[in-house]
Structure 1
C-alpha cells in the first residue's frame, strides 16, 4: 500500500488567562504559534491529530522528524519514562517517524525524544501533551445535564456509562445500488446490483461505504468512507484506493435546546461526497436543532476529527458542509477555532445566532404593535424590511429558542423548572444552555441572557422618511414596541440588555465579526433565492457576511457568494462550490509548502483559483460574474433583489452587528416630516435618553479577544 503524505501541523502553545467581567466565565486562550523550519540538527516533534494541549481520549498521533546526524533506528521515544518507540514507524523519506501514542494519563504528560547515547551533538526534544477525557470537556466548560439516547432507538449503540458513552464503536457497511439508492450490504458474495464509482483521485472502486458510529464528547458521531470489506482499512500509515485523502465535516441546521444526546447528525450518507471519494464525518452535537451551542459543536468537531486522524490518517484538509444554521456553525467555528475546518462551504446561511435572533424578536414586537398603529399588511412588511409578509413568522423560530414555553418531551416533567414548584429545575432556555459562555446572573441564578435591546431604536424610521407610514403611525408603532424581561415575559416598556453579557458575546465571537480565523479561511457560500416566498433564509444575510469581512480585513479575498434560483440550480451551485473549494485548498497547501513565509491571508488570496468570483446564475442558466454589492442596478440584484431587516429599516448598519446602540439626543429637525407638538411630546416619552446613533460602534462592541478560547465557570 502507498504511504500517505502528512501535512505538518506545528503545535506551539501560548496561554493567556483573563476574566471578561464580573459574573462572566473565566476565559483562557491558547493559540498555535507558527514557527520557522527547525535547524537540521534537532528533532522536530509535532502532534498531527490536533493540538498538543487539547488531546482527548488518551492518545495522540505524533510525528517526529529525525535530524540528519541521527540514524532513525537510534531514536528512542518515551512518555513520562514509558518507552513508546515501538509505536512509531517510518513514513515519507524514512527520516520521519509517525506513531500513535496511547495510554496517556489524564492531564499533563511529557513526551521525550532522544537518540541513543548522550555524546556531543546528540539532540533531544520534549513536547507536553495535555490529555482530556473522551467524554470532554476540553474547552467548553463544565458539562450540562444530558439525557442519553433511549433504549430501543436505532441510535442507541448499547450499554452506556454516566457520560452516555459506549465501550467501542459499531461498524456497518452499506452499498450504492445500480438504481441509485443505498442498501445494507449483505454477508457473503457482493450483490449483483452493486454500483462502482470513480473518485477525484481517478480510482474506480466498488461503491461500498464503511460506516463507523460511536460516542465522543457525550454525542453520537458517524464516519463514512468508501471501503471494500476484506481489504485493509486505511490507517495513519497506509491508504486505500477509495479515500481521496480529504475529509468533509457536515453540520445540521435549525436551533434547539435539547439537553439530549439526540438521534441525528449532519448526515454522512451523502452520494455527492462519498461517490467522489471524500470521507464524511459528523456528530449529533453538530446539528443546531439538537445543540444550539457553537462552542460544544466546535469542541465535538475537533474531537471527532482527532479520532478520525488517529484511526484513518490525517486528511490533506477538511471542508465544512451544511446549510442554514449548518453554515452558521461553520462560520463560528472557523472564526473562533481556526483549523478545525480549513474551508467553509455554506448554503442559505447566517453569520451567527445572536445577531440573527435579534430579527426574530423585533418581528414579534412589530407584529404585535402593528394593529394599534393601524399598519396595513404592506406597511408592516415594509417596516420589517422583508420581501414577504410571511418572512417575519419564520424569523420568530429564532425568537422562540431564547425562552420556549416548554421543554422537549425527553426532559421529564418532574425535572423541569417551575418558579414555585421546582425553582432549581431544568430551564429550556438559551441563556441556561450556554451559561458556560455568558455566565450566571447572581440575582436570579439563571444563565445570563442577552435580552433584545430596544432602547433608542426607531422602528420604521426608513419607511417614515419614504412616506410609507405617517408620523402618527410611526409614533404609535414605537410607543407599542416594548421589550422582554430576563425570563422572556413581554413588557410594555423598552428593555435594555446587560452590557457585560453583550461584551462577552463580541469578545468570545458569539457575534461573528469575522475577525478571528475568518480573516483567512476560504468561504464559498451559495444561496437559492427564496425571499419573495417568505423564507427567512433571505439573501441579505450574504451581504451582512460580506460587510463584516471587509470591515475586519479591509477586503473580501476569502469570500465568494453565488446566488441562484432555488432547486436544481442551487444544488448545482453547491456541487460547484465543492469542486472550487477542493481546488482552492489544494492550491493553498501547495503554495504553503513552497512559500512558507507567506501569512495565512496571503496564502488564501494567492491560491484562489482563477475565475472563482462572486456572481449569480440567472433563471435561464446564464452565469453572471459580478462583485457582491448593494447597488440595486447590478444585474444580480435586479434578478434577486435584496431586502432588509427591522433594525436596518430603523437606520441600523447593513452589517447588522450592533446589539445595543449608543444614543444621541432627539432632534426634531432631523426628520423630513412634521410632527405635531403632541406627537413630539409622545416621541420624547418613548425615547427619554435619546435615539440610536448608528454612526458609532455598538455598546460593548469589541473585537474578538482571541481564538481558541477556553470557558470555565467562575
Structure 2
C-alpha cells in the first residue's frame, strides 16, 4: 500500500474517532487481518521430545529500551488477527509496525494523555523492554513505585524489580526481590536465593490475542516465595486463557528463561507452578523440552488439553439429547446422569435454567426445569461455543465486525500449524466419536435399559464440520447486556437424526498423528520431580475434577514403569498445602531424591492434617486395586468416555473398531442379550464399535508406551 493511501486511511479512521463519543482505549479494535508471517516450524520425525531445537540467533540479554525477538524459533508462522494488551498491563501502547490498518491502532499522546489521532497500527504488539518497581506488604497489597530515591521501605515490605518486554509477541516478566540500594543496578541480586520459579497460568483460550500481564497478579500468587528470595519469571504466552498452543508456549518459555539467565546466571533449579491449563503445560513442556524446568508443581491439572476435549465436547451432546431429543424429566436423575456422563451431579440452581423455557417452546418441547445439574453444565457451560465453533469468536469488541466475520475462531485454528487445514481453510479437528457407545457401562450395570441405550446412541449425534457451523443465536434485551441464548447447548451445530441415526464426528487421522508427534498429548514421560496438587471440588461440580491426575499417573506408569517422580496430593477445599509443597520440592531437588516423609502420595483434611499417606492410599477402580483410605475419603468420579468403555488414561482419539456382532460375542454388553438389537446397533454403528483394547488407531506405532499392557 502506498504512503498516500495509508495516510488517507488513517485520516478517515481518525475522523471517525473524532465524531465518536468513545475514548481511544474503548475503540481499540483490530480492524483487518494481516497475512501470516512465515517462520520456521520444527521438523519432527518421531516425537518433539527427540527433535533438536535450532540455535537462537538473538543475542541476549535484551537491552532496556530495545525490542526482543518477534519471530519464533521453531513453532511456525505468526498468524493473525492478534490483539494487543500492552496498555492493560501498564506498559503503554505498542510500537507502530505498519500504517496499513493491520492490527491494533496506536494513538498520538500529548501531555501524557491519548488523543483521537491515529499515528499507525501494531499487528505484532511489540514493546520496548522496560524496568518497573513494586512494593508489596502482603499478597493482596502491592503497588508500583516511581521514585526510588525518596522511598522509605517498611519492615514488612519487599521491593521487587520487574522487567517486562515482548518475546515472540507475548509480554514476558522477570521478577526479582532486591535491596532498596540496588534499584539503579539492573543485575543486582543480593536477596536472590538462587531458586527460580516459572509461573504458568490457566484458563480456556483459543489464541488470537497477546493477553495482558499485570505484575500485581503475579506478586499476589507468589508473594510467599518472593519474600523468601525466589525469583519468578513468566509470559502471557504461558497462560492458557490466551493460547493452548504448547509448541508456541515452549518456544516462548525457552527464550524467557534464556533472558533471565543472561542477566543473573544459572539458578540452582527452575521449578514450574501453575493451575489448570498451567498445570498441564508443565507436564507437556517437561515431556517435550527436558531441562526447561527441573521440578513441577501442577495444580488442578489435566494430562493435556486435547484429551480433555474428548469428554468436554460430549457434554453438550448429552444436554442436547436430554433437552430436545428425549424426555428431559426422565433424565433429571442423579444416578442416570452419573452413569452416562461419569462426572458428578447434584441438586442445585444454575444460571442455564433461564434458557430452558424459551428453547423448549422454540423446539416444541414441553416446559420442564431440571433440578439435577451435572459438572457438564456447571463446569463446561459454554465451552463448546468457545473452543469448537469457528464462527463464534469473542463477544467483546476487541475485533471489528469484518475481522470477526473472516476469522475462524476455535481452539483447533490456534493450532493450525500443527493440525493442518482442510480445503475450506479450517483447521482440522482431532475430536472424534465414531464407534463410541455412550452409556455402555450404564447398560452393563442396569442403570439404563437396552432400549434407552439404543435411543441415546441413535439420537446423540456429533458436531457438524467446521465449515457448516454457525454462531450462537443471542437475543439481547434492549438497553441491557443481558443475552438470551436461543440455541441452547449449541443444538444448531449438532448433527440431527431423522429416519436414520444422527451422524457422528470424524477426526483427521493426520491431525491426530501430529498432535502426538508435536507434543500436544501427554505420553507419560516424567523425568522430573512432580507434586500434583488438587483441591477436592467434586461437590461444587467444578471442572477441575480429580480423575485427571489418575489418568496422568496411568500414562506415567505405562511409559516409565514407575511413579517414583510423581506424587499426588489432594486436599479439602479449605486447605492449600502450598508451603509444604515448596519445602518438599526444594528438599527433593537439592538432594536428588524424594523424602517420603515430605512428598509421598497423601490427602489432607480442612485443617491441613494428613488423613493418610503412602503408595496405596489412592488405590481404586482406576488401577483395579482395593480402595485406599484417601480414595475412600475423596470419591473419584469418571467421565463419559470411561463410561463408554474407554480407558482411564483417556488418550484414545480414534479408536479401532470391531463389528457389532463381534462385540456381542465378546460380551461387551454384560448380561444383556443384544442379539435382538443387532439391526439397530448395526445401523447406528455401520463401521463397528470401539474396541479400546487395541489403543488409538491414529497413534504412531513408534510412540507405543514401553510398559503398556
TM-score of the superposed pair, with normalisation by structure 2: 0.73
Q: CA shift at 1:580, angstroms? A: 1.4
Which aligned pairs between 1:246-265 and structure 2 lie closer than 5 A?
A: 246-264=195-213
Residue 155 (structure 2) pairs with residue 195 (structure 1): yes
Within the candidate set 645, 649, 657, 1:651 is matched to 645
Q: Which residue of 2 aligns with 1:134?
A: 69
Q: In 2, distance between residues paired with 1:353 and 1:178?
A: 33
Q: Which residue of 2 aligns with 1:210?
A: 161
Q: Which residue of 1 aligns with 2:274?
A: 322
Q: Which residue of 1 aligns with 2:539?
A: 532
The structure-2 alpha-carbon separation of the partners of 1:438 and 1:150, relative to structure 1 and needing over 3 Å to count, comes to closer
Q: Does the 8 Å contact 2:44/2:517 carry over to 1?
A: no
Within the candidate set 510, 516, 519, 1:509 is matched to 519
Residue 292 (structure 2) pairs with residue 340 (structure 1): yes
| Structure 1 portions without partners, runs of 5+ | 1-14, 21-26, 33-50, 62-99, 104-131, 197-205, 419-424, 589-605, 707-714
3-state DSSP class of the match of 2:532? strand
Q: In 2, distance between residues paired with 1:226 and 1:211?
A: 9
Q: Does the 8 Å contact 1:503/1:702 carry over to 2?
A: yes
3-state DSSP class of the match of 1:175? strand
Which aligned pairs between 1:441-456 and structure 2 lie closer than 5 A?
A: 441=422, 443-450=423-430, 452-456=431-435
Residue 364 (structure 2) pairs with residue 364 (structure 1): no
Q: In 2, distance between residues paired with 1:382 and 1:172?
A: 54
The structure-2 alpha-carbon separation of the partners of 1:377 and 1:664, relative to structure 1 and needing over 3 Å to count, comes to same
Q: Which residue of 2 aligns with 1:78?
A: none
Within the candidate set 125, 136, 160, 1:176 is matched to 136
Q: Does the 8 Å contact 1:235/1:313 carry over to 2?
A: no
Q: CA shift at 1:135, angstroms? A: 0.8
Q: CA shift at 1:385, angstroms? A: 0.6
Q: Which residue of 1 aligns with 2:506?
A: 496
Q: Which residue of 2 aligns with 1:485?
A: 464
The structure-2 alpha-carbon separation of the partners of 1:472 and 1:31, relative to structure 1 and needing over 3 Å to count, comes to closer
The structure-2 alpha-carbon separation of the partners of 1:59 and 1:643, relative to structure 1 and needing over 3 Å to count, comes to same
Q: CA shift at 1:59, angstroms? A: 3.4
Q: Which residue of 2 aligns with 1:580?
A: 584
| Structure 2 portions without partners, runs of 5+ | 1-40, 98-122, 346-372, 470-492, 496-501, 705-709
Within the candidate set 619, 635, 639, 1:641 is matched to 635
Which aligned pairs between 1:87-236 and structure 2 lie closer than 5 A?
A: 134-149=69-84, 153-162=88-97, 164=124, 166=126, 168-177=128-137, 181-185=141-145, 187=147, 194-196=154-156, 207-231=158-182
Q: Does the 8 Å contact 2:133/2:145 carry over to 1?
A: yes
Q: Which residue of 1 aligns with 2:528?
A: 521
Q: CA shift at 1:166, angstroms? A: 4.8
Residue-pair matches, total: 557
Residue 402 (structure 2) pairs with residue 402 (structure 1): no
Q: Which has the higher strand share?
A: 1
3-state DSSP class of the match of 1:526? strand
Q: Does the 8 Å contact 2:85/2:210 carry over to 1?
A: no
Q: CA shift at 1:456, angstroms? A: 1.3
3-state DSSP class of the match of 1:280? strand
Q: Does the 8 Å contact 2:584/2:598 carry over to 1?
A: no
Q: In 2, distance between residues paired with 1:296 and 1:140?
A: 5
Q: Which residue of 1 aligns with 2:364?
A: none
Q: Does the 8 Å contact 2:302/2:308 carry over to 1?
A: yes
3-state DSSP class of the match of 2:182? coil
Q: Which residue of 2 aligns with 1:603?
A: none
Q: In 2, distance between residues paired with 1:229 and 1:158?
A: 29
3-state DSSP class of the match of 2:243? coil
The structure-2 alpha-carbon separation of the partners of 1:195 and 1:166, relative to structure 1 and needing over 3 Å to count, comes to farther
Q: In 1, distance between residues paired with 2:390 and 2:155?
A: 47
Which aligned pairs between 1:234-249 and structure 2 lie closer than 5 A?
A: 240-249=189-198
3-state DSSP class of the match of 2:313? helix
Q: CA shift at 1:183, angstroms? A: 2.8
Residue 381 (structure 2) pairs with residue 432 (structure 1): no
Q: In 2, distance between residues paired with 1:161 and 1:186?
A: 26
Q: Which has the higher helix share?
A: 2
Q: In 1, distance between residues paired with 2:509 and 2:631?
A: 37
Q: Which residue of 2 aligns with 1:617?
A: 604
Q: Does the 8 Å contact 2:602/2:630 carry over to 1?
A: yes
Q: In 1, distance between residues paired with 2:142 and 2:398?
A: 34
Q: Does the 8 Å contact 2:279/2:302 carry over to 1?
A: yes
Q: In 2, distance between residues paired with 1:179 and 1:685?
A: 60
Q: In 1, distance between residues paired with 2:428 and 2:140?
A: 50
Give a deviation string over 1:70-102, Cα, whole Å, max 9, x none: xxxxxxxxxxxxxxxxxxxxxxxxxxxxxx9xx
Residue 561 (structure 2) pairs with residue 554 (structure 1): yes
Within the candidate set 683, 705, 710, 2:681 is matched to 683
Q: Which residue of 1 aligns with 2:333?
A: 377
The structure-2 alpha-carbon separation of the partners of 1:190 and 1:274, relative to structure 1 and needing over 3 Å to count, comes to farther
3-state DSSP class of the match of 2:516? helix
Give a deviation string over 1:91-130, Cα, whole Å, max 9, x none: xxxxxxxxx9xx9xxxxxxxxxxxxxxxxxxxxxxxxxxx
Q: Which residue of 1 aligns with 2:436?
A: 457
Q: CA shift at 1:414, angstroms? A: 4.1
Q: In 1, distance between residues paired with 2:298 and 2:124?
A: 31
Q: Which residue of 2 aligns with 1:386?
A: 343
Q: Does the 8 Å contact 1:508/1:705 carry over to 2?
A: no
3-state DSSP class of the match of 1:395? coil
Q: Does the 8 Å contact 2:435/2:657 carry over to 1?
A: yes
Q: CA shift at 1:182, angstroms? A: 2.0
Q: Does the 8 Å contact 2:573/2:606 carry over to 1?
A: no
The structure-2 alpha-carbon separation of the partners of 1:231 and 1:563, relative to structure 1 and needing over 3 Å to count, comes to same
Q: CA shift at 1:531, angstroms? A: 0.8
The structure-2 alpha-carbon separation of the partners of 1:331 and 1:222, relative to structure 1 and needing over 3 Å to count, comes to same
Q: CA shift at 1:370, angstroms? A: 3.0
Give a deviation string over 1:39-86, Cα, whole Å, max 9, x none: xxxxxxxxxxxx7x432532379xxxxxxxxxxxxxxxxxxxxxxxxx
3-state DSSP class of the match of 2:263? helix
The structure-2 alpha-carbon separation of the partners of 1:279 and 1:456, relative to structure 1 and needing over 3 Å to count, comes to same
